[in-house]
């Protein structure tokens, strides 16, 4: 299991391999070129089939404390043979992180974090998120976003009050409508999806996708192995200015799993 927090020096990179793994993953976070502190954090719990990206809000050290609260709450998660029980466990841990952030921020301003999580079990997975950190899936030939941003501009877009061209330049583009620590009750969105051999997933904070286009993400996500894919995406975001903290995780489902599929 690998976890990264803002306290660790960027750039940070993990690429854990085990001979019995059912999937492969690589993760990295970087403070970027503008921010003084990294408020992003991630969890790369490959052996548990769980990957998480959290993007803190509220300024250092409140933002990094919030994102780390999420990672700490999930870091000792252990999968069982009951996937519904596992989902409830993950959601309960996020509720605990939400409560911690609310208690620590009482009367002292915002202490919150977005979260995007992927939990894989056999031929299915749960996508869990709150905020605008994203999760994509590449299943040849399609590269699709599996999450919907929980943001003010996305709400206005869905209501028809903004065009697609207005999204990035709107003055409220950074206003998040759901996040851990923002409200007394955490409202996450959960989506159950299928998983097939050869699928590749990308989890990332907004520091990646706001400087790298959808097509550019696809080209780099699928061009090589997970480690090189993460490196290519992060490098491009940094070359574009690194205007925010950047975090990315690439998860690969093997084309030919070792042993029977789905894994037991």
State the pLDDT confidence band at 3, using cuts at 50, 70 and 90.
Answer: low
Nearest-angstrom CA–CA distance, 24 and 233 = 17
Nearest-angstrom CA–CA distance, 126 and 135 = 11
**Exposed e or buried b for every residue in 175-185, given b needs 16+ CB within 10 A?**
ebbbbbbbeee
**Mean pLDDT to the nearest integer, 99-114:** 90
Size of the chain in residues: 264
**Mean pLDDT to the nearest integer, 158-187:** 74
**Mean pLDDT to the nearest integer, 5-24:** 47
Domain membership of residue 114 (yes or no) is yes
Domain membership of residue 117 (yes or no) is yes
pLDDT one-digit tens code per residue, 126-168:
999 999 999 999 999 999 999 999 986 666 556 555 556 656 6
* Domain assignment of residue 226, given as a range: 2-252
pLDDT one-digit tens code per residue, 51-83:
999 999 977 668 999 999 999 999 999 999 999
Q: Residue 176 has which token pair?
A: 């998040």
pLDDT of residue 165: 61
**Mean pLDDT to the nearest integer, 32-42:** 96
Domain membership of residue 259 (yes or no) is no
State the pLDDT confidence band at 11, using cuts at 50, 70 and 90.
Answer: very low
Domain membership of residue 25 (yes or no) is yes
**Mean pLDDT to the nearest integer, 251-262:** 66
pLDDT of residue 9: 37
Q: Residue 115 has which token pair?
A: 């979260």
Domain membership of residue 235 (yes or no) is yes
Q: What percent of the chain has pLDDT over 90?
A: 72
* Residue 78: CB atoms within 10 Å: 11
Domain membership of residue 260 (yes or no) is no
Domain membership of residue 198 (yes or no) is yes
pLDDT of residue 223: 83
User: Does the pLDDT value for residue 227 go beyond 80?
Assistant: yes
Burial label for 104, CB within 10 Å (0-12, 13-18, 19+), is middle
State the pLDDT confidence band at 14, using cuts at 50, 70 and 90.
Answer: very low
pLDDT of residue 2: 57
101 and 56 Cβ atoms separated by less than 8 Å: no
CATH number at residue 104: 3.60.40.10
Structural domain total, the chain = 1
pLDDT of residue 152: 65
Domain membership of residue 261 (yes or no) is no
50 and 117 Cβ atoms separated by less than 8 Å: yes
How high is the mean pLDDT of the chain? 86
């Amino acid at each position: 299991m690998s976890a990264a927090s803002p306290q660790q020096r960027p750039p940070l990179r993990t690429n854990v391999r085990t001979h019995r793994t059912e999937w492969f993953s690589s993760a990295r976070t970087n403070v970027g070129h503008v921010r003084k502190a990294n408020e992003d954090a991630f969890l790369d719990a490959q052996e548990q089939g769980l990957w998480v990206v959290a993007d803190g809000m509220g300024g250092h050290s409140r933002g990094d404390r919030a994102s780390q609260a999420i990672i700490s709450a999930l870091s000792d998660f252990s999968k069982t043979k009951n996937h519904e029980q596992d989902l409830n466990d993950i959601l309960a841990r996020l509720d605990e992180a939400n409560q911690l952030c609310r208690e620590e921020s009482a009367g002292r301003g915002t202490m919150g974090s977005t979260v995007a999580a992927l939990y894989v079990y056999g031929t299915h997975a749960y996508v869990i998120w709150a905020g605008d950190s994203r999760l994509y899936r590449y299943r040849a030939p399609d590269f699709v976003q599996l999450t919907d941003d929980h943001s003010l501009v996305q709400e206005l877009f869905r209501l028809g009050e903004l065009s697609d061209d207005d999204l990035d330049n709107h003055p409220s583009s950074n206003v998040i409508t759901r996040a851990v620590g923002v409200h007394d009750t955490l409202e996450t969105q959960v989506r159950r999806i299928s998983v097939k051999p050869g699928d590749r997933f990308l989890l990332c904070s907004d520091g990646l996708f706001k400087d790298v286009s959808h097509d550019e993400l696809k080209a780099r996500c699928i061009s090589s192995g997970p480690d090189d894919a993460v490196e290519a995406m992060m490098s491009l975001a940094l070359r574009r200015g690194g205007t925010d903290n950047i975090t990315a995780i690439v998860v690969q489902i093997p084309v030919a799993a070792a042993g029977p599929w789905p894994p037991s």
